[in-house]
Structure 1
Amino acid sequence: MKTVLSTLNAKYIHTSLSIRYLKAYAEPDYDIELAEYTIKDPAMNIVTDLHAKKPEIIGFSCYIWNIEETIKVIKMLKKINPSLLIVLGGPEVTYDTREWMEKIPEVDFIIIGEGEQSFKQLLDELHGEHNYENVSGIAYRKDAALQIKPQRNKIDLKTLPSPFRFKEDLSQLSKRVTYIETSRGCPFSCQFCLSSIEVGVRYFDRDKVKEDIRFLMEHGAKTIKFVDRTFNISRSYAMEMFQFLIDEHKPGTVFQFEITADIMRPEVIQFLNDNAPKGLFRFEIGVQSTNDATNELVMRKQNFSKLTRTVTMVKEGQKIDQHLDLIAGLPEEDYHSFKKTFNDVFELRPEELQLGFLKMLRGTGLRLRAEDHGYVYMDHSPYEILKNNILSFEDITKIKHVEDVLEKYWNDHRMDETVEYLVSNVFASPFDFFQDFGTFWDKKGWSRIGHQLEDLYKHLFEFLASSNHDVVDIVSGFMKYDYLRNQKFKPRKPWWDDALSKQERSKIYHSILENPLLLGEEFARKQLTEKDLFKHTVLETLPFNLNHYLKTGKMVEEGSFILVHYDTVHSKTTVYTALSREFESKVG
């Protein structure tokens, strides 16, 4: 029977590890074809492509991000071919299985939980005697009555075959994210997380994992993301893997991990700071909340002072980028408490700060006890909360405004110096800046349209001007600096109006040619010609001494110039500064 395993990924660059494990475990007894799509692909296109493969069995891996689109595809496929057997699996359908079987009558089987062994057993019965009661971890219908067979035993992970050796995947490794497991399960019991349901942590064979990583790198994999829920739960294991990756990595490869920061020992971080190449590792850290009462209610153990120590040490090492997560809407975390959580974590200045909203996942303790905290949430995936007993829908809407501008103005690092000055010197707190700007952004309707880079600068300037802040000129100077230094090539038309006339600009350029040391020895050594200056540099005025601010963090309001050189030969952008008074005798 022709069998296809499919899923709808969130993005094209993502790959599904689950269907590859199922395929690998079923071989060599069954030859299974993989078919991946995205949630953005039209359902008709997916159906057309799957139908053309002429399958007799199709399995879909289901998650909160793809279940709604997957259902559309399933219903269309079954209408076209009623004899097609539909099998679902994955975390979204593992819980409330009876409800899913009743909701989607087109589904013939649901695999419950860990799927490798159950799916293989199901294929054996589909090709054999159809005695489905012999299959553990499965839901099906018999004489119109629903049958649910629980899983009997967890599989021995050390026996699983590699999911990375399929020839059809090799050409795509450099273009997509490769996901890899070294363990399953989580030692913690966070009540909003599915991982808390499985007790204990099981490990894969270390030598096999290392061989897989070598194989992936040899075949061009660039981004390898470990999906272990807590990669560093075993210090000795984490150290062994870190050392292996440092020793064996290929240039250009990046490894991403989910770590629990407050249990990471300082000597481990020091080892990474001393030995890891810059950019080789990336850490994802779930902070979620700094409210102790909230963490206790969701059975989340967290020592924020130790977490701060870890994040700070990693940041000071300048080797590893960090992505920190927050969740708005946890129990007993009202708007003001979440504001404190946000400011606590932003104080650490992570490279990325992800602001998410609580999702009441099927099977989690928080969903089962939703009434205890007055949770109202979406009936459909992703089951995001709408309000609870202390957080109104209006509060959630306001926090969503923060999320929108946080992504564009902090996580994308388009204007780091500008934002840093605003959150440190202009607004009462970082949250106040993102909240005020986010609300302004929403009222303007900007969240519903796309934006060019220049638009983002113009929008921020408009917001500051409308707020009657007396630092608009200062901040616009930072914005010019951020804009120019982050360009790879000389911009054709900046977002601001020229402060210098062509005559003034020409005089300053000629004064620089006459005395290059005005911009320092490094600039003078470049020996730029008049043609180089006019073709490959930008000259702008600032209302403050930029060089003094960058060195000391203190503002001195005296005019200065910045000259930005775009070296196209070496793909390098360099900023040179000088005070206005140094040019006064030349410009007049």
Structure 2
Amino acid sequence: MKTVLSTLNAKYIHTSLSIRYLKAYAAPLYDVELAEYTIKDPAMNVVTDLYTKKPDIVGFSCYIWNIEETIKIIKMLKKIDPTLIIVLGGPEVTYDTKEWMEKIPEVDFIIIGEGEQSFKHLLDELHGDQRFEQVSGIAYREGETIQIKAQRNKIDLKELPSPFRFEEDLPHLSKRVTYIETSRGCPFSCQFCLSSIEVGVRYFDREKVKEDIRFLMENGAKTIKFVDRTFNISRSYAMEMFQFLIDEHKPGTVFQFEITADIMRPEVIQFLNDNAPAGLFRFEIGVQSTNDATNELVMRKQNFSKLTRTVTMVKEGKKIDQHLDLIAGLPDEDYSSFRKTFNDVFELRPEELQLGFLKMLRGTGLRLRAQDHGYVYMDHSPYEILRNNVLSFEDMIKIKQVEDVLEKYWNDHRMDATIEYLVSTVFESPFDFFQQFGSFWEEKGWTRIGHQLEDLYKHLHEFLSTAKTEDVHIITGFMKYDYLRNQKHKPRKPWWSDSLNKQERSKLYHAILDNPMLLGEEFAQKNLSEKDLFKHTVVEKLPFNLFTYLSKGNVLKEDSIILVHYDPILSTTNVYPATSQDLNEKVG
């Protein structure tokens, strides 16, 4: 009986670790074929591809992001071939299993919880006497009756074979994210998270993990993401792995971790700041809320002052990018409280701030006690909340407006200097800027159309021009600075009207040619010709002293000149500031 294991990933660059573990554990007795798709692939295309593989058994790994599309595919496959055996597994169907079996009559089996042993045992019975009552951790049909067998004891992770040694995966390692786990389980009990249900933390064999990482790097893996819920729960283990990765990493490889920041000791961070190459590590930190009462209601232990210490030390080390997560909609977190949470976390200036919305996941304590907080949420995945007893649907809409512009204008780092000036100087708080801009964005209908880079600058400028904001000309100067320094090539037509006419620009260029030291020694050493200067640079006037801003961080409101050189050989962009007074003396 030919078996195919499949899943719909959120993006093409993602890979499924779960189906690879199942394939590895079933081998060598069963040769399982893998078939991955994305949630954006048309259902008919997926069905057609699976059908051409001529399977007898098809298994699907199910999550909140793919369950709806997976159901469509299952129903189509079963109509085409009623004899096809359909098996589901994954966190989305592990809970409310009977409901899933009733809801999708096309499904023959559901694997409950940790699946390696149960799936292999199920294959044994499908190929043998079909005594399904002997298989722990499955749901199956016995006539019109749905039978559910309790899960077996947790597997010894040290016995699991490697899921990374399949020949068909090797050509794709450099182009996709590779997921790896060194432990399963979580020591915490956050009631909105599925990981809180499993008690305790179990570890894989350390040396086997290291061998897998070596193998992945040798075969071209560039992005390796650890899916451990709390990578640093054991300080000695985390230190050992950090040291190993520092010692044996390949150039260009990035390792991502989910860490709990408030339990990370300063000496660990100092070790990373002193020894880790810049860009080798990336931290994902779930803050969720800074409201102590909210955290207590969801059984989440968090010391925000220690978390702040960790994030600040890491940021000051300039070695590791940090991605911080927030969840809107937690118990007793109203709009005002969430505004404070947002501002508390934004004050840390993470490289990314992910604003998510509470999802009432099946099996979690918060979903089981949803009525206690007046939760109203989607009946279908992703089960996102619509309102609760302190946060109205209107409030949710407003926070979603914040999320939209936060992603475009902060997380994508298109204009860091501009946003920093806005949130620290112009608006009452970072949240207020993103909220007001997000509401304006929604009113203009921009959420429903695509945007080029120039559009994003024009939209922000339009908002600032109508928001009765002071110093629009200063902000415009920052926007010009950000736009020019973030280009890879000389822009053909900037989004603003030229502040210098052709004659003024020509005089500036000739003044620079006569005395390159006006832009500093580094620029003078480039020894640019007149042709290079006109062809590969942009000169622009700013309404603040850029040299003072870059050297001291102060905004001195006097005109200055910026020259940006787009090096065609090195493919680099270099910014050279000078006060216009220096150049005007030469221009006359």
Same structural fold, with TM-score higher than 0.5 when normalized by the shorter chain? yes
| Alignment deviations for residues 503-543 of structure 1 (CA, whole Å, 9 cap, x no partner) | 11111111111111111111111111110110010000001
* Counterpart-to-counterpart distance in 2, 1:329 and 1:367: 13
Kindly indicate whether residue 354 of structure 2 is the aligned counterpart of residue 370 of structure 1: no
* Counterpart-to-counterpart distance in 1, 2:276 and 2:580: 43
| Alignment deviations for residues 343-362 of structure 1 (CA, whole Å, 9 cap, x no partner) | 00000000000000000000
* Counterpart-to-counterpart distance in 2, 1:583 and 1:242: 51
| Counterpart secondary structure, 2:405 | helix
* Counterpart-to-counterpart distance in 1, 2:553 and 2:508: 28
Counterpart position of 1:216:
216
Shift of 1:551: 2.2
Point out 4+ residue stretches in structure 1 off by more than 6 angstroms. Answer: none
Kindly indicate whether residue 217 of structure 2 is the aligned counterpart of residue 225 of structure 1: no
Counterpart position of 2:235:
235
Task: Name the aligned partner's letter for residue 103 of structure 1.
Answer: K
Counterpart position of 1:551:
551
| Counterpart secondary structure, 2:354 | strand
| Alignment deviations for residues 389-414 of structure 1 (CA, whole Å, 9 cap, x no partner) | 00000000000000000000000000
* Counterpart-to-counterpart distance in 2, 1:502 and 1:550: 27
* Counterpart-to-counterpart distance in 2, 1:519 and 1:554: 19
| Alignment deviations for residues 109-150 of structure 1 (CA, whole Å, 9 cap, x no partner) | 000000000000000000000100000000001121010001
| Alignment deviations for residues 232-281 of structure 1 (CA, whole Å, 9 cap, x no partner) | 00000000000000011000000000000000000000000000000000
More deviation in 278-287 or 469-478?
A: 469-478
Counterpart position of 1:53:
53
* Counterpart-to-counterpart distance in 2, 1:57 and 1:555: 67
Shift of 1:471: 1.2
* Counterpart-to-counterpart distance in 2, 1:295 and 1:393: 22
Shift of 1:556: 1.3
Shift of 1:554: 2.0
Counterpart position of 1:144:
144
* Counterpart-to-counterpart distance in 2, 1:585 and 1:376: 68
Task: Name the aligned partner's letter for residue 556 of structure 2.
Answer: V
Counterpart position of 2:275:
275
Kept in 1, the 8 Å contact 2:360–2:385? The answer is yes
* Counterpart-to-counterpart distance in 2, 1:525 and 1:7: 56
Kept in 1, the 8 Å contact 2:262–2:304? The answer is yes
* Counterpart-to-counterpart distance in 2, 1:526 and 1:256: 38
Kindly indicate whether residue 287 of structure 2 is the aligned counterpart of residue 303 of structure 1: no
Counterpart position of 1:480:
480
| Counterpart secondary structure, 2:172 | coil
Task: Name the aligned partner's letter for residue 94 of structure 1.
Answer: T
Q: TM-score, normalised by structure 2?
A: 0.99
* Counterpart-to-counterpart distance in 2, 1:3 and 1:216: 26
| Alignment deviations for residues 420-446 of structure 1 (CA, whole Å, 9 cap, x no partner) | 000000000000000000000111111
Kindly indicate whether residue 462 of structure 2 is the aligned counterpart of residue 462 of structure 1: yes
Counterpart position of 1:104:
104
Task: Name the aligned partner's letter for residue 241 of structure 1.
Answer: M
* Counterpart-to-counterpart distance in 1, 2:211 and 2:522: 47
Task: Name the aligned partner's letter for residue 127 of structure 1.
Answer: H
* Counterpart-to-counterpart distance in 1, 2:568 and 2:302: 48
Counterpart position of 1:353:
353
* Counterpart-to-counterpart distance in 2, 1:466 and 1:587: 36
| Alignment deviations for residues 328-376 of structure 1 (CA, whole Å, 9 cap, x no partner) | 0000000000000000000000000000000000000000000000000
Task: Name the aligned partner's letter for residue 468 of structure 2.
Answer: N
* Counterpart-to-counterpart distance in 2, 1:518 and 1:227: 52
Structure 2: gaps of 5 or more residues: none
Structure 2 counterparts to residues 240-319 of structure 1, below 5 A: 240-319=240-319
Structure 2 counterparts to residues 446-525 of structure 1, below 5 A: 446-525=446-525
* Counterpart-to-counterpart distance in 1, 2:397 and 2:430: 18
| Counterpart secondary structure, 1:171 | helix
Structure 2 counterparts to residues 2-41 of structure 1, below 5 A: 2-41=2-41
| Counterpart secondary structure, 2:394 | helix
Kindly indicate whether residue 132 of structure 2 is the aligned counterpart of residue 132 of structure 1: yes
Kept in 1, the 8 Å contact 2:410–2:416? The answer is yes
CA RMSD of aligned residues (A): 0.6
| Alignment deviations for residues 529-571 of structure 1 (CA, whole Å, 9 cap, x no partner) | 1101100100000011111122222221111110001111112
* Counterpart-to-counterpart distance in 2, 1:583 and 1:568: 26
Shift of 1:82: 0.3
| Alignment deviations for residues 284-331 of structure 1 (CA, whole Å, 9 cap, x no partner) | 000000000000000000000000000000000000000000000000
* Counterpart-to-counterpart distance in 1, 2:143 and 2:317: 64
* Counterpart-to-counterpart distance in 1, 2:546 and 2:403: 30
Counterpart position of 2:338:
338
| Counterpart secondary structure, 2:14 | coil
* Counterpart-to-counterpart distance in 2, 1:25 and 1:268: 36
* Counterpart-to-counterpart distance in 1, 2:486 and 2:555: 22
* Counterpart-to-counterpart distance in 1, 2:261 and 2:380: 33
Counterpart position of 1:409:
409
* Counterpart-to-counterpart distance in 1, 2:522 and 2:20: 54
Q: TM-score, normalised by structure 1?
A: 0.99
| Counterpart secondary structure, 1:65 | coil
